[in-house]
Each structure stands twice: as structure tokens, then as C-alpha cells.
Structure 1
Amino acid sequence: MTKVFPIIETDRLILREVNTNDSNDMLAYLSNIDVVKHMGLEPCQTEKEVLDEIAWYQAIYNDGTGIRWGITLKDAGKVIGSCGFLNMNPKHFRTEVGYELSKDYWGKGIASEALQAVVHYGFSHYRFERIEALIEPANLPSLRLVEKQGFKREGLLRHYEFTCGKFDDLYMYSILKEDLTNI
């Protein structure tokens, strides 16, 4: 039996499964150094690299370790970013959240709207108790985004990841189900 990929709708957005038809839209933002510099990725150069990213989205969904929604505006089907869960750990009722958004849409509240919807979905449908966000200290917009959503900074994980030829420190943020009163 195949799983049906959930669709999340907000006031302005439809969060949906991405597919190979979205690769050109995704290449437009995944090739931008400003978008990917805090993701531990080099900017994508080719459609093949984006297709590999889409294949990863499909793999984590199929094996139950994550889910990544493409962010689209209701009035246009174009994928302008993604948001979702990775490293899902149902045994411990926790997961990590990640996201990125095309630079053309920064500062419009879209990332905030998408993140809020995904966090609520995780608490209500996946029954998570804890959702974590790991963020590079220099990524000030992302730090502000999660803090605005009610995430709490727990500490600094020193040299936690090795990406793009360097060790990265990451702040550990979390939000608990009890932190949101309307779940």
C-alpha cells in the first residue's frame, strides 16, 4: 500500500510533495549561494544535482525518516522553497525541522507561515513531543524565524557537522508540544 503524501494549506501557501517537474524551479533557488550557504550544501550547478535532492526527499519519506514539503504560493504552482522534517525518531517522539526559501521571497513572512504550518502538522499528525532546529550562529534570519515561532535556544553544539570542507558549530533550538497552547 502506498502512502498518500499530505498536503498542507495555509492562508497564502500550499505545501505539497515535490517531483521531477519542479526541478527547474528548485534549481533557481538552490543555485543561489545566499540560500544554501547555511545548509551545508554547495550551490547546485545542474538539474541533476536538484534531481538528487528531490530523490533524497522521496527516500526519507519512503523510509519514514523524514518528509519535505515544497512551498508554493496558492496563486502559482511554482516551488519557491521547502520545509519539513528529517531525522524523525518516532520512538522518542522527536524530529528535526529544516527549511529554505528562494531569496526572491525573503522578508514576506512566507518562511514563517510555512514553518508554523509544518510544526503544527508535526505535533498533531505525527504526535511529536519535541521538534528541533539546528542553526549556524551566523544565520541570523533563521535564528529570528525559529525564535518568533516559539523555539527556545538550548545550547551550542561545537563542531557538530563537517560540511563544505569545514566544521560547523550549530545552535540547538527546540519547541515542545506543550509550548503551543492551541495544539
Structure 2
Amino acid sequence: MNIDTETFPVLETKRLVLRQVTQEDAASVFSYLSDEDVMKYYGLEPFTSINNALNEISWYESIRDNKTGMRWGITLKEQGIVVGSCGFHNKVAQHFRTEIGFELSKEQWGKGIASEAVEAIIRYGYEQMNFQRIEALIEPPNQASQKLVEKLGFVREGLLRNYEFTRGKFDDLYMYSLLKQDFDKKS
């Protein structure tokens, strides 16, 4: 499959290019999604084969085809290799809302890359996808993701008890939200 630059929006930031993830990226996707630390709060077991990565990429394609979301690969400008992904899922068009998700290769943690990428897609979501509300559902022990969304202006609205069943257990999730007018004020 070729990268579809005609219809898939490529976003650039100071250090990053956010682009469509293709089957050619399966090895790099597998590289970070097979890491237990990266997958700790992802809701899936660490990947054990390249087929897991190909299935993940197929999911990215399906949410876009079904108009329920969009997922970008995070690449460093000088490398072009996918080191993480971020995007929207569970889009509810009639209510102008969506959820956001993101993950990043452990080698890139602590450099502000996830924050830079997520801010870019939030801007795109409000300006081009007409969202009013973007939600983030985060497990209470996931301090790094909480700090990231709070830095971007998200507000913690409450705790959703036993909200998901993943990896053999029920997980509580904090509900965070960012409204368009709050992001506009911050920008």
C-alpha cells in the first residue's frame, strides 16, 4: 500500500511529521508495541509477532474508512521511521466529540515528542474535523499521560469505575476533556 497523501492529512511540527501508517511500517510498529512498558496502559498484551502489528495497522485503516477515527504515525523529521502513533477513535459525529489516544517508543520518552504530536492533532481536530469536545480516558496509575493531557489544558472530570476489561482485569479510567473554546484560549 502506498501512502495516500491526497486524502490522508500529513501534519508537520517543529521536530515531527505525522503521517499515515502503512504496512511498510509494521516492523517499527512491532518494535515499540512489543515493549511491556509501552503496552502497560494500552489495553492489549505486548505484541508477539509482526502479524499483531499488521492487524493494528489494519485497525487504523478501518477506523478511518468507517469514519470513526484517524490515527497518525509519529515520525522524527530527520528519520521518517514511525516511533509512535496518536489519533482519534470512538468519534461521535452527531455530538462533535471524539476520544484521543497516543503511545510512543520508550526511546523517545521524556523529550516532549508525544506532547508535540498530540497538540498538533488536537489543533487539526478542532480546525479541520469540527470537534467541540476531545476526551482522554486514562488509567489512574498512568501519571505520564495524565501530565501530558493536563499540560495541554484537559480537565479531569471524574473516575469511571471498572470502565474497561483489558488484559484480564477491570480498569478504572479517569475521564478528561478539552473543549474547543478552552483550547482556543490557550493557543
Q: TM-score range by the shorter chain?
A: over 0.9
Pick from 149, 152, 165 the counterpart of residue 152 of structure 2: 149
Number of residue-to-residue matches in the alignment: 182
The normalised TM-score by structure 2 is 0.95
Q: Which runs of 4+ in 1 moved over 6 A?
A: none
Equivalent in 60, 74, 78 of residue 75 of structure 1:
78
Q: Identify the residue that residue 138 of structure 2 maps to in structure 1.
A: 135
Residue 117 of structure 1 corresponds to which residue in structure 2?
120
Structure-to-structure mapping, 1:85-100, within 5 angstroms: 85-100=88-103
Q: Out of 166, 170, 183, which is 1:167 matched to?
A: 170
Q: How far apart, CA to CA, are the structure 2 residues paired with 1:180 and 1:92? A: 18
Give, in whole Å, the separation in 2 of the partners of 1:13 and 1:157.
33
Counterparts of 2:139 and 2:156, CA distance in 1: 12
**Residue in structure 2 matching 1:35, options 38, 46, 50:** 38
Q: Deviations over 1:55-82 (max 9, x none)?
A: 0000000110000000000101100000
Over the aligned positions, Cα root-mean-square deviation in angstroms equals 1.1
Give the Å deviation of 1:95: 0.2
Q: What residue is the counterpart of 2:184 in the other structure?
A: 181
SS in 1 for 2:184: coil
**Alignment partner of 1:9 is 2:12:** yes
Report SS of the residue matched to 1:128: coil
Q: Which structure 1 residue ranges, 5 or more long, are not aligned?
A: none
Match of 2:28 among 4, 9, 25: 25
In the alignment, what sits opposite 1:102? 105
Once residues 99 and 180 of structure 2 are traced to their aligned partners in structure 1, the CA distance between those partners, rounded to angstroms, is 14
User: TM-score, length-normalised on structure 1?
Assistant: 0.97
SS in 1 for 2:8: coil
Amino acid at match of 1:170: L
1:181 is displaced (CA, Å) by: 2.5
Please state whether the residue corresponding to 1:120 is helix, strand or coil.
helix
**Deviation (angstroms), 1:180:** 1.7
Corresponding residue SS for 2:160: strand
The separation in 1 between residues aligned to 2:36 and 2:12, in whole angstroms, is 29
In structure 2, list runs of 5 or more residues that go unmatched. none
